[in-house]
Homo-oligomer: A and B are copies of this chain.
Amino acid sequence: MALVFYSHSDEGGLFEKRFRAAIAEQLPDLEVRTWPEIGDASEVIYAALWLPPEGLFKALPNLTHIFALSAGVDRLLQARDLPSEVPIYRLEEGGMAAPMSQYVHYGVLHAQRQMGLYKEAQQRQQWKRDAAEPAAGDWEVGILGAGVLASAVAETLTVAGYPVRTWSRSRKQQAGVTSFAGWDELPAFCENLNTLVCLLPLTSDTDSIMNAELFNRLPKGTSLINVARGEHCVDEDLLTALDSGQISSALLDVFRQEPLPSDHPFWLHERIMMTPHIAAPTAGGIAAKQIAKGVADAAAGLQPAGFVDRKTGY
């Protein structure tokens, strides 16, 4: 009985080290083998993976559980040799809730406190106060998504005094947060928003959801934060909306191609603030422990957390 481990990027092997330690603590008898050194492939029944190379699944005929090292499984589900019957589990929280909440809170504060306008004024050496000075209670934040991370972000923002709404496939219950559900309610969700945050899973339904049509439903001057996937956003539509002022500014952590190509117009756009997919790093000890817990649950015959419904894609 063995588990195969593969992470597309793991600087210094730090995450693998943490994961092996967590497995050693929770399942001391389970052997962890690092792809491609899989030994006797027939013994490998678990896989813990981020962006696995083609051929990995074909080489492992006896897999019973696949654990994703990430919250999003859009790329994993696209693997051509992915076995159709093996259940997949994704990282639901993985220590990402705290840094994700920090990052989005930063972006909301940046917009609410007009820090972009002050930056532009500073560049022009202009002492210029913004008359508006909106309070947190008057700054409406809408989150596309209502999963584990979106709920954590919604709670942080609610505690900070912002009115928060979420939009998801099915209706959700969260204290102090207004839930909008389904495509029919998307226009109502957009009304009076000041900041729109994307925290959706990437599926065929949500691909390109942030397009000209959605931007035009928002009040003029809404700010945008994308911490989900680059594919959620139609880049050209965002540039058009920024140039017309329909979208006032964007904080982007994710891109259709990463690293973002050096000739992409986002780099030097003065109303775009960019970070290199660092909003919520997963390479922490908490993620390692949560995945190891899932493997231990599977070994004990229990259902691990984070089961992925392949029909909905998350």
Q: Which residues of chain A have a CB within 8 Å of any CB of chain B?
A: 11, 98-99, 102-103, 105-106, 109-110, 112-113, 115, 118-119, 121-123, 125, 127-131, 133, 135-136, 159-161, 258-260, 262, 267-268, 273-278, 281
Contact A127 B273 (CB under 8 A): no
Contact A122 B267 (CB under 8 A): yes
Taken together as a complex, chains A and B put the C-alpha atoms of A102 and B136 apart, in Å, by 9
- A105 neighbours in B (Cβ, 8 Å): 105, 109
Q: Which of B115, B125, B276 contacts A262 (CB 8 A)?
A: B125
Contact B259 A130 (CB under 8 A): no
- A112 neighbours in B (Cβ, 8 Å): 102
Taken together as a complex, chains A and B put the C-alpha atoms of A112 and B98 apart, in Å, by 13
Take A260-B127, A274-B118, A278-B133 as given contacts and tell me if A106 and B103 are in contact as well, using a CB distance cutoff of 8 Å. no
Count the copies: 2
Contact A106 B98 (CB under 8 A): no
Contact B276 A119 (CB under 8 A): no
Q: Which of B113, B260, B273 contacts A102 (CB 8 A)?
A: B113
Contact A133 B281 (CB under 8 A): yes
Take A113-B103, A159-B159 as given contacts and tell me if A129 and B276 are in contact as well, using a CB distance cutoff of 8 Å. yes
Q: Which of B118, B268, B274, B281 contacts A275 (CB 8 A)?
A: B118
Q: Which of B109, B136, B258, B274 contacts A109 (CB 8 A)?
A: B109
Name A119's closest neighbour in chain B (CB-CB): B273
- A125 neighbours in B (Cβ, 8 Å): 262, 267-268
- A267 neighbours in B (Cβ, 8 Å): 122, 125
Q: Which of B99, B103, B106, B130 contacts A278 (CB 8 A)?
A: B130
Contact B98 A161 (CB under 8 A): yes
Q: Which of B109, B123, B268, B276 contacts A106 (CB 8 A)?
A: B109
Contact B98 A135 (CB under 8 A): yes
- A115 neighbours in B (Cβ, 8 Å): 106, 273, 275
Contact A122 B281 (CB under 8 A): no
- A277 neighbours in B (Cβ, 8 Å): 129
Taken together as a complex, chains A and B put the C-alpha atoms of A11 and B133 apart, in Å, by 13
